[in-house]
Each structure stands twice: as C-alpha cells, then as structure tokens.
Structure 1
Amino acid sequence: MGEVMLSVESLGVTFTRGGDTVRAVRGVSFDVARGESFGIVGESGSGKSTVLRAICGLAPTSAGRIALGGQTLATPRPATFYRQVQMVFQDPYASLHPRHTVDKVLSEPLAIHGFSDREARIEQALADVGLGPSFRFRYPHQLSGGQRQRVAVARALILEPQILLLDEPTSALDASIQAEVLNLLDRLRAERGLTYLMVSHDLAVVAHMCERLIVMQHGLAVEELTRAALAAHRAETDYTRALLAASAGYTPATA
C-alpha cells in the first residue's frame, strides 16, 4: 500500500435520541491510500454513511481518530479541509438548491474559497462532467437525475480536492444512468489521481469501483475484502455472503 491519504482508527460515533443512546459506529478502522478507491458496504442503518459524516465533521465522534495525510483532524474542520475533501450525496435533487442555477451552484464554492478565475473554472467543470455550456443557466428541475448528479460531481471537483467522499452517489438513478455516472467517476479518478471513499448498500456497485472494501453491520466492520476476493466469492461472513446474493445481476468484477 502506498502513502496513506486518509486514516480512520477505532472510530466511534454515538447519538443520543430522547433517552436512548445509539452507538452508530463502533471501533471502525481502515486506511485509504493516495489514488485508491475504497468502499464501505452495508445495509441501511449499518453505520456506513455515518462514517462519512464523521470524516466531514458532521457527526459527533465519541472515540478514535481521523487523520488526513497523517495529521489528526481538528473539530470543527478548518476551511482548508474542504479544499481537500468534498462529498457527493445520494440524492442530487435534494443536494442542489431548487432556485439556484447551475452557474450559481458552481460559483458559490469558488466565491467562498476566494477563487478569481470563476468563469473559466465553471466552464471547465461542466466540460469535465460531460455537460456543455448550455447547462450553465438551467435550474435543477430542468435537468434529468443523471445530469443533476453530474452537476453535483462538478461542484465537488471545482475546488480541486484530493479526496471525494461518495455517499450512495448512484442509488437514486436508473440502472443505465448509474453505469454512466460510475464510469464518469472512474475516469475522473484516473485523470486526476483522486482518492475515493465510497459508501453503498450495493456490493456490485462497490466491486465495480473499489479495489478494497469493508463490510459494515450494526456499526461494526465485520470483514475487509479485496476486489479479487469478492470476484472469487471468498467472503468469510454469512452477512457478506447474503449481501453478495442480494446484489441482483452481480457478475464477478475483473480483478
């Protein structure tokens, strides 16, 4: 494994709801190398998305350490963190402001972080995700689901981060559009040397995108697998075997 870009050690996230304490993440550890695509798979409620939220500082860390490039992250996260790490959410309709044009969506992060060459950056960001200049002044309701998610990817990439956190980035899309967006993300990672941490309930999606993955259940990491082990169906736990069976149309990915 090359240089470690992101390190999560014995992470715990605990929520209090009413009088109940919910241990959403319990002692989860993993490292992601620079340029790697790493996956977290699990059912709804397994804690997988909470791990991403904890990395972003959006969920309360009750135990453990999160480090970026060997440096432990401070809480709250400094502005420089968001230049390096950006997140793409599950539902592109909910994550884009309905009354903001694509131009405004893309110019906002540039303004916040003080970029001057906004015009050129916006045009380049749209081109990078396969959308022409005609999309600049459209509103989210004038776009298809796949186009909206492309805009969300463009917004995440416009600050030139090194790491993308992908939270079920295609689960709200039709199967044919899913493949388009996944292939786009694959291409962008190869071109830019990006590091991905991807969360999904769908083992087939993660097998397509990631070299290594952990499987989460009830807040715990129950198994770590390589893509090759997954392709050979070498799962050690019944839970992972059940996830494999549930991935409809799952075909072993080439290692």
Structure 2
Amino acid sequence: MNILDVKAINKTYTKQRWFKKNVHPILKNVTFSLAPGECIAIVGKSGSGKSTLANIMLGIESATSGEMIFREKTLTKSYYKQIRKEIQGVFQNSYASLNPLQKVEDILKEPLRNFDLPFNKSKLLYLLDIVGLEPSLLQHYPGELSGGQQQRLAIARAIATEPSILILDEVTSNLDMVLQKKILQLLQHLQQTQGLSLL
C-alpha cells in the first residue's frame, strides 16, 4: 500500500494585465506514488515547478486541479489538518525558515507544542543527537550556527513530530560539497532507522 498517491496535479497562475488575462501553467498532470520508506527525487530545471509542488504537498498552496491521497484517503483541507504532523518539509534556505529571535530549544519545542505532543529536555537532546548537533547548542540562536548546523536544526525540527513523509526542497544547494554529503548521509540514516518516506 502506498503512503501517498499524487494524481494529475495541475497548477496555473493567472495574471491580469489591463483587460487581458495571462494564464501560466506551472505543473501539468504530475502523477506519482510514494511507498512507506521510499525515496523519490523530483528533477527539473530552475522554474519548472518543483518548489510549487512541494508547497502544494505541504498544504501551503492549493493545486488548480488533481488530488492527493494519503493512506488511501483524499487529502481535503479538513483531513490535512488532522494529519498535518505526518507530512513535514525542509526548505533550501534553512535560515529564512528559522526564527532568529528564538533559541534552538524553542525552535525544537514549537512543532511539539503546535500538535500538543509531549516533550521534555531529553526529547530535545535526542533530536539534536540524531542530526549530529551538540547539546550545548540548545541555548544558541540560529545566527550563531553555521549553514550546515542551521540545515541540521531545520531537519531536527521537521522530524520532531515523527512524520511519515519528509519533503525536501533542495536542502543541500546552499552547502559546500562536504556538508552536502553529510546532510545526504543523515537523511539516508533517518530513512533507514525511522522508516521515513523522502521526497
């Protein structure tokens, strides 16, 4: 059984200029299935709609047409609210997704609070440990972390809710080759040990 089925997703943007409407198709009939523990890569040139697709799957944007089925049930807005913690995302610019005024500890607590999930300090230390960050970083701010550490923190925050699917939008593109390799190894480890499906 697939954990997610994406069926004929279309996305168009309409721009009104004077009396003329310009319709720009971004995604056309995107269809694929994702099995539990599977990793699928979506490949395309810049501007081809990869980030738009990620946003649709994360519920940030709506598709123009098509449907997504999670655990054999169509993802409606109301159903999405019920399973929101099951599908998490990590974005290309991790620093922009981290609140610069929050300490690492609060950044990790936030998704747990949002979904009324239990947490204690050992849970936060576990999240840091699994992504290879030192416990001492709990009291640091994102601006005090390196780019690689920020990306690891973003991953730790995303897996805090123990999701089934992790959507990764070019998570290594701003990192050097050594850090890219480490992040990819980390994601592979999470896939193997936690049964995460990766997109």
**TM bucket normalised to smaller:** over 0.9
Q: 2:92 maps to what in 1?
A: 90
CA–CA separation in structure 2 for the residues paired with 1:172 and 1:165: 17
Q: 1:11 maps to what in 2?
A: 9
Of 71-80 and 167-176, deviating more is: 71-80
1:75 positional shift:
2.2
1:33 aligns with 2:35: yes
1:147 positional shift:
0.3
Q: 1:229 maps to what in 2?
A: none
The letter of the residue matching 1:95 is S
TM-score, structure 2 normalization: 0.94
Instruction: Tell me how large the CA RMSD over aligned residues is.
Output: 1.3
Q: 1:194 maps to what in 2?
A: 196
Of 116-125 and 128-137, deviating more is: 116-125
Gaps of 5+ in 1: 198-255
CA–CA separation in structure 1 for the residues paired with 2:49 and 2:7: 15
TM-score, structure 1 normalization: 0.74
Q: 2:65 maps to what in 1?
A: 63
CA–CA separation in structure 2 for the residues paired with 1:64 and 1:144: 40
1:132 positional shift:
1.8
1:76 positional shift:
5.8
Identity of aligned residues (%): 38
* Structure-to-structure mapping, 1:61-140, within 5 angstroms: 61-75=63-77, 78-140=80-142
Q: 1:152 maps to what in 2?
A: 154
The letter of the residue matching 2:12 is T
1:118 positional shift:
3.1
Q: 1:46 maps to what in 2?
A: 48
CA–CA separation in structure 1 for the residues paired with 2:80 and 2:9: 20
CA–CA separation in structure 2 for the residues paired with 1:4 and 1:78: 17
1:144 positional shift:
0.5
The answer on whether the counterparts of 1:101 and 1:139 sit within 8 Å (CA) in structure 2 is: yes
CA–CA separation in structure 2 for the residues paired with 1:10 and 1:79: 22
The answer on whether the counterparts of 2:109 and 2:119 sit within 8 Å (CA) in structure 1 is: no
Counterpart secondary structure, 1:178 = helix
CA–CA separation in structure 1 for the residues paired with 2:84 and 2:91: 15
The answer on whether the counterparts of 1:97 and 1:105 sit within 8 Å (CA) in structure 2 is: yes
Counterpart secondary structure, 1:14 = strand
Structure with a larger share of its residues in strand: 1
The answer on whether the counterparts of 1:4 and 1:32 sit within 8 Å (CA) in structure 2 is: yes
The answer on whether the counterparts of 2:9 and 2:30 sit within 8 Å (CA) in structure 1 is: yes
Gaps of 5+ in 2: none
